[in-house]
A and B are shown apart, each in its own frame.
Chain A
Amino acid sequence: MIQYIVRRILQTIPVLIGVSILVFSMMHLVPGDPAQIMAGESAPQEQVDNLRERLGLNDPLPVQYFTYVSNVVQGDLGNSIRSGRDVGDEIGSRFWVTVELAFYSTILAVFIGIIAGVISATKRNSFADTGIMIVALFGLSMPNFWLGLMLIQWFAIGMDLPSWIPFLENTSWFKPSGWGSFSQIVLPVITLGTGSAAIIARMTRSSMLDVIGQDYIRTARAKGVKERIVIYRHALKNALIPVVTVVGLQFGGLLGGAVLTETVFAINGMGRLVIDSISARDFPVVQGTILVTALLFVFVNLLVDIAYKFLNKRIDLD
């Protein structure tokens, strides 16, 4: 087991190197002179030359790359062109906003996805099963930015309710923007989590159906175990093993998807920082944010793989 963990950690090293090369090259792949872009298009030649010298852009590429990596390892992601601030500081608290958003959305997706998937599988071909699977298909096919806008329209701007409903006049229950309070968190989390909930529901259903057909489920029934316990004690545990891997991938996907959700709900996270920086051509910030997100994703996947291996140990039939 420890051997596996060590091997798995070693495997991430080439990936990390690849990621850093890719992020590093972004700057140089942009058509035009990086120094000119950073200094601004109307900047005088002298200023551009100074910047080029200061950033080491005259050095050969391998040297530049090496400098970049050693800076990153020391926590120095460069300075923002727009604000002149340290990129690490620019990201700062926004990192946690995005992680929180992705984390809550994953929790929601796992919770709803697993419950829906189990209901679907155990009531196979019933009205509930068909209904859940159709909803899941829609969840999978919906652009989350559109869902976000619709949720804002329905539950933040709100609609007037008929007068016979007591106490509630309209449905403007939540806030359309920002991050922090409960009423600000609900809509973005639903927006971001829906797609993953759909994927997890479909996955749980098929995994559960697969497990329910296994011999050991028949053994449990032949033992006189109640159907509810057959499902939750004997089947679910086995069915969730493949779902675990998806959860890790989903969390990563949500980190990426947060870009759109943060834009829709005007949340000050890393996603919005990326978009704003792209339009301002503030490349150090774009690079830094993308690098941090990718590193986080690699790290989460590492954890999930180890967890999966641990769970799966009992399943190896050899």
Chain B
Amino acid sequence: MGKPNSYENILEIKNLQTSFFTKDLELKAVDGVSFTIPKQKTLGVVGESGSGKSITSLSILRLIEEPGKIVGGEILFKGENLLKKKESEMRNIRGNEISMIFQEPMTSLNPTLTIGEQIGESFRIHQGLSKKEALKKSVEMLELVGIPSPKKRVKQYPYELSGGMRQRVMIAIALACNPNLLIADEPTTALDVTIQAQILDLIKNLQEQLGMGVLLITHDLGVVAESCDVVAVMYCGQVVEYADVKTLFKEPKHPYTIGLMKSIPPHDQDIEGDLEVIKGAVPSPAEMPTGCRFAPRCPFATELCKTKMPELQTDENGNQIRCWMHTDEWDGVKDREVTVHG
């Protein structure tokens, strides 16, 4: 779009903090998250629900609503801090340079507007097109995302489309203005398995065609393995492990990551067998442990883990880990065998 090319990373988040405020409590939903998405690459953010993934993505677009608030950090998009932008400047970025697709295609489209009106709105806002031109472009977009007979579809209402179709429409809306960054928040969770693969392929193909960065939020490591370049594993509002996808799958370091991996069924087996699942549940934000947040559920946790929060350590390759086991202060059993798919 003719903007200076002085940045290396499409998105750089530094120490992002987003909290929700109740009468007398501050709940830190995102607590010091940092990560980077290089140009045209895909970053996967993985974690259970409640880990702060979705809040992180909404923070990037500054769509956090009361009583939530971004309280600290930087969000550098193409080198510029989004948190310093005016609301009107943010509006020019939303749906134009950064787009987002959501988990629930069934409820994410406006039931009283036609498909064409909803896709065309992006063109009208950001490119100032007329109603007619916008409709024409909408037809093209529907074609791009692989919806048959698009000329008929633009005149229809969402209730006339299936879930998979609606998610394609969401993608069409998101990609309408050729964004530099696409945030996909669990784009396939609500869909059938066969449709899931189609949608992921579609996103991947379009990424190559359009050359955008993608932030893919998911709880499904299988999806990560197939689509991502770099992965951030989040737990309770923090990044606990951050690595390129090969390293992560070859040598997962954090016990939480290992736990997540053990809970994916191997491809060649039926899901009926015992999947190893991480015991316990994510602690509620109001009762966050003082030490490592994963300690209450961690099979390796020691007194140190329970009392003191580990720092995020960065190795020579730039991979990061937040775990006492990988520090010199570790006071537990050192050479414990850690296996995946054991």
Give residues in A with beta carbon < 8 Å to B. Answer: 214-216, 218-226, 233-234, 237-238, 241, 313-318
Q: List 17 A-B contacts (CB under 8 A).
A: A215-B104, A216-B110, A218-B63, A218-B102, A222-B63, A223-B95, A223-B173, A224-B125, A237-B112, A238-B111, A313-B159, A314-B111, A315-B111, A315-B112, A316-B159, A317-B106, A318-B159
B107 touches A216 (CB 8 A): yes
Cβ–Cβ < 8 Å partners of B110 in chain A:
216, 219-220, 234, 238
Contact at A222–B94, with CB atoms within 8 Å? yes
B173 touches A219 (CB 8 A): yes
Q: Which of B63, B93, B100, B111 has the most CB of A within 10 A?
A: B111
Interface digits, B199-240 against A, CB 8 Å rule (1 contact, 0 not)? 000000000000000000000000000000000000000000
Q: Are B109 and A219 in contact (CB under 8 A)?
A: yes
In the complex, which residues of chain B have a beta carbon less than 8 angstroms from the beta carbon of A226?
A: 91
B121 within 8 A of A: yes
| 20 further interface pairs, Cβ-Cβ under 8 Å (given A224-B91, A238-B111, A316-B159) | A216-B109, A216-B111, A219-B102, A219-B108, A219-B109, A221-B63, A222-B94, A222-B100, A223-B95, A224-B93, A224-B94, A224-B122, A224-B125, A224-B126, A225-B95, A225-B125, A238-B112, A241-B112, A314-B157, A314-B158
Docked pose: A214 CA to B159 CA in angstroms: 16
Contacts of B112 in A (CB 8 A): 237-238, 241, 314-315
Residues of B within 8 A of A (CB): 61, 63, 91-96, 99-100, 102, 104, 106-113, 121-122, 125-126, 157-159, 170, 173
From residue B2, how far is it (CB to closest CB) to chain A in Å? 19
Q: Which 7 A-B pairs have the closest CB atoms?
A: A223-B95, A224-B94, A224-B95, A215-B107, A216-B110, A215-B108, A222-B100
Q: How far is the CB of B112 from chain A (nearest CB, A)?
A: 5
Q: Measured between C-beta atoms, what is the minimum distance from A191 to chain B in Å?
A: 35
Are B159 and A314 within 8 A (Cβ)? Answer: yes
Measured between beta carbons, the chain B residues less than 8 angstroms from A233 are 113
Instruction: Report the nearest B residue to A222, measured CB to CB.
Output: B100
- A104 CB, nearest partner CB in chain B, Å: 29
Q: Once the chains bind, are B96 and A224 in contact (CB under 8 Å)? A: yes
Contact between chains at A223 and B159 (CB < 8 Å): no
Asked if A225 contacts B104 (CB within 8 A), the reply is no
Q: Which residues of B contact A216 (CB under 8 A)?
A: 107-111
| Nearest-CB residue, chain B, relative to A213 | B65
Let me know if A317 and B99 touch, CB within 8 A.
Answer: no
CA distance A225 to B92 in the complex (A): 9
Q: How far is the CB of B213 from chain A (nearest CB, A)?
A: 16
- Set of chain B residues within 8 Å of A315, measured between Cβ atoms: 111-112, 159
Instruction: Determine the residue in chain B with the shortest Cβ distance to A233.
Output: B113
Cβ–Cβ contact A218 & B111, under 8 A: no
Bound CA–CA A278/B125 (angstroms): 63
A217 to chain B, nearest CB (A): 8
CA distance A318 to B163 in the complex (A): 10
Contacts of B96 in A (CB 8 A): 224
Which residues of the partner chain B approach A220 to less than 8 Å between Cβ atoms? 110, 121
Expressed in whole angstroms, the minimum distance between the Cβ of B31 and any Cβ of chain A is: 23
Contact between B95 and A222 (Cβ–Cβ < 8 Å)?
A: yes
How far in angstroms is the closest Cβ of chain B from A127?
Answer: 16
Contacts of B106 in A (CB 8 A): 317
Partner of A219, one of B157, B159, B170: B170
Question: How far in angstroms is the closest Cβ of chain B from A214?
Answer: 6
Q: Give the residues in chain A near B111, CB-CB below 8 Å.
A: 216, 238, 314-315, 317
Does A317 contact B102, Cβ atoms closer than 8 Å? no
Determine the residue in chain A with the shortest Cβ distance to B158: A314
Contacts of A238 in B (CB 8 A): 110-112
Min C-beta distance of A21 to chain B, whole Å: 41
Chain B residue, CB-CB nearest to A311:
B112
Q: Is the CB of B108 within 8 A of A223?
A: no
Cβ–Cβ < 8 Å partners of B91 in chain A: 224-226
CA A233 – CA B121 in complex, angstroms?
Answer: 11
Tell me which residues across on chain A come within 8 A of B63, comparing CB atoms.
218, 221-222
With a cutoff of 8 Å between Cβ atoms, the chain A residues found around residue B109 in the complex are 216, 219
Nearest CB of A to B337, in Å: 45
Cα–Cα distance between A216 and B104 once the two chains are bound (Å): 10
Residues of A within 8 A of B93 (CB): 224
Give Cα distance in the complex from A215 to B96, angstroms.
19
CA distance A120 to B96 in the complex (A): 31
In the complex, the chain B residue whose C-beta lies closest to that of A235 is B110
Chain B residues, CB < 8 A from A218:
63, 102, 108
Which residue from chain B places its CB closest to the CB of A212 in the assembled complex? B65
With CB as the reference atom, state the residue of chain A lying closest to B103.
A215
A198 to B2, CA, bound (A): 54
Closest B residue, CB atoms, query A238: B112
Residues of B within 8 A of A314 (CB): 111-112, 157-159
Complex partner residue of A221 from B94, B104, B107, CB under 8 angstroms: B94
* B125 and chain A: residue at smallest CB distance: A224
User: B94 is contacted by which of A215, A223, A241, A313 (Cβ under 8 Å)?
Assistant: A223
Give chain A residues whose Cβ lies under 8 Å from the Cβ of B157. 314
A214 vs B158: C-alpha distance when bound (angstroms)? 15
How close is A248's CB to chain B, nearest CB, in angstroms? 20
- Which residues of A are found within 8 Å of B170, using beta-carbon distances? 219
Please, how many angstroms separate the alpha-carbon atoms of A247 and B99 in the complex? 39
Q: How far is the CA of A214 from the CA of B61 in the complex (A)?
A: 18
Q: Please, which residues of chain A bring their CB within 8 A of the CB of B94? A: 221-224
Chain B residue with the shortest CB-CB distance to A124: B66
